[in-house]
Amino acid sequence: MSIDNDVLSELRRGYDQLTNSQKRIAEAIVADPEFVAFATVDKLASRLEVSPSTIVRFAYRVGLEGYQDLQERIRQRVRSQMRHNASAEDPSAIIEHLGESTYANSIRRDIENVNRTVLDLSTETLDLTVRLLSQARRIHVVGYLASDGLATFTALVLSRLHSDTVLLRNDGMLAPTLFELSGDDVLLVFSFPPYALHTLKVVEAVRERGAKIIAITDSVISPVAQHADIVLPSHVSGMTTQNSLVAPLVVVNAIVNAFAASTPEVANRYREVMQSMSAWEAFVLRDEQES
């Protein structure tokens, strides 16, 4: 495999030909080219937990003349992006190259939703959210219809951080699960217009059981917000009839990242869960011993 000046495009095309260690290096180049462009080989090796010689061999493997040659190719790419995004503080400049297309208008709306959502957040509310989640006996997550994907993703990532996380489904197990709720539990609920009726019924049942409710919804006066202890407003105005769920996902990521960093125990649980999943060969990429 050879590499021309567009390093990232070439890496993508030749990715399947690389070993696992080489794939980790390629992923670092794609994810953080600025760091790779200016880091020493030792610093990059330390970040990736590989040997410096592995990185040098990678450079030769992709047809370059060593690590310095690899860095220079990446620097060219980084400089080009910096020039292109010189006015990136203006959101419209980021999508300027897409013109007045529907794609540009859709992305512009998502950027606006995220900006408005962030302005409505406070550190105090986010801290309280993370504290309730970390202290909960059990975390329940619910979101129906279009919010189902958000709820499923959130339950998945929280289950790696909290020992008892439950995704509520509209099935025969729902009623017994709700019956077992107590004041030590927390419900994280997603609800956006036109608001799923079943979601509201679950929230009302949870309120009767005395559990805490955290609502990620479009308004502090939405149907579920009126029953919630904490409301995290997320703007979801879409380009057409469907909601845009980009901003709620930004909120979820902020909460999950803060939760993961909240205590050493949470971080250790995440590490052990991921190691177990790797041992079960759940992933394409697995840890390997450097030779």
pLDDT tens-digit series, residues 110-149: 999 999 999 889 999 999 999 999 999 999 999 999 999 9
Q: Give the up-direction half-sphere exposure of residue 247: CA atoms within 13 A in the CB hemisphere.
A: 28
In angstroms, the CA 96 to CA 155 distance is: 36
Residue with tokens 């495999």: 1
Long-range contacts made by residues 57-61, C-beta under 8 angstroms, separation at least 24? 58/18, 58/21, 58/22, 58/25, 58/26, 61/1, 61/18, 61/22
7-84: which CATH number, 3.30.1370.140, 1.10.10.10, 3.40.50.1100, 3.40.50.2300?
Answer: 1.10.10.10
| pLDDT in the model for residue 264 | 81
The domain locations on the chain are: 7-84, 108-279
Q: Which fold has domain 108-279?
A: Rossmann fold (3.40.50)
Measure CA 87 to chain center. Answer: 26
Decide: pTM greater than 0.75. Answer: no
pLDDT tens-digit series, residues 31-78: 788 888 889 999 999 999 999 999 998 888 877 888 898 898 888 877
Under DSSP, the state recorded for 190 is E
pLDDT tens-digit series, residues 210-268: 999 999 999 888 999 989 999 999 999 888 888 999 999 999 999 999 999 988 888 78
Please give the order of strands across the beta sheet that includes 230-233: 165-167, 139-142, 186-191, 212-217, 230-233
In angstroms, the CA 50 to CA 287 distance is: 11
